[in-house]
A and B are shown apart, each in its own frame.
Chain A
Amino acid sequence: MTRLGSLVVTGAQWASLGAAVLLLGGFGLFLMRSDLGLRLRALADNPVQFTLFGYNMNHHRLLAFGLAGFFAAASALVTAYDIGFDPYAGLHAVLLAVVAVIIGGQGSFVGPVLGALLLGVLRAQVVWYWSARWQEAVTFGLLALILLLRPHGLLGRKSRLEATS
Chain B
Amino acid sequence: MSYLLHLLVYFDIYLIVTLSLNLVVGYCGLLTLAHAGYYAVGGYAYALLSLNLGWGFVPAALAGAALAGVLSLAVSLPAWRLRGDFFVLASLAVQALIFSGLYNWSSSDAPLGSWRNLTNGPLGITGITGPDLLGWKVVSPLSMALFATAVAGLCAFVLWRLQSSPWGRLLLSLREDELATRGLGKNTRLAKVQAFAVSSAIVSTAGALYAAHIHYLDPSSASLDQGILMLSMVVVGGLGNFRGPLLGAAVLIALPEALRFLALPDAQAANLRMLIYGLLLVLLMHFRPQGIAGKYRLQ
Contact = CB atoms under 8 A, between A and B. Distances in A.
A134 B81 contact: no
Interface in B91-108: 92-94, 96-97, 99-101, 103-104
B83 interface: yes
- Give chain B's interface secondary structure class: helix
Interface string A136-165: 110111011001100100000000011011
B259 interface: no
B83 A137 contact: no
A137 to B, nearest CB: 4
Interface residues of A, number: 20
A122 to B, nearest CB: 15
A144 B97 contact: yes
Contact of B83 (A91, A95, A102, A165): A165
Contacts, number: 58
A98 B89 contact: yes
Interface residues of B, number: 21
A132 to B, nearest CB: 10
A140 B101 CA distance: 12
A68 B96 CA distance: 25
Given A134-B104, A165-B83, A139 B96 contact: yes
Contacts of B82: 147, 151, 161
A133 B122 CA distance: 11
A137 B78 contact: no
Contacts of B89: 98, 102, 143, 147
B86 interface: yes
B93 A141 contact: yes
Given A98-B89, A143-B89, A144-B90, A136 B100 contact: yes
Interface in B222-269: 224
Q: Kindly list the 6 A-B residue pairs having the minimum CB-CB distance in the complex, ordered from nearest.
A: A165-B84, A140-B96, A137-B100, A144-B93, A165-B83, A140-B93
8 contacts: A133-B103, A136-B99, A137-B100, A143-B90, A147-B86, A147-B93, A161-B86, A165-B86
Given A161-B82, A161-B86, 10 more contacts: A95-B224, A133-B100, A133-B103, A134-B104, A136-B96, A136-B100, A137-B96, A144-B94, A147-B86, A161-B83
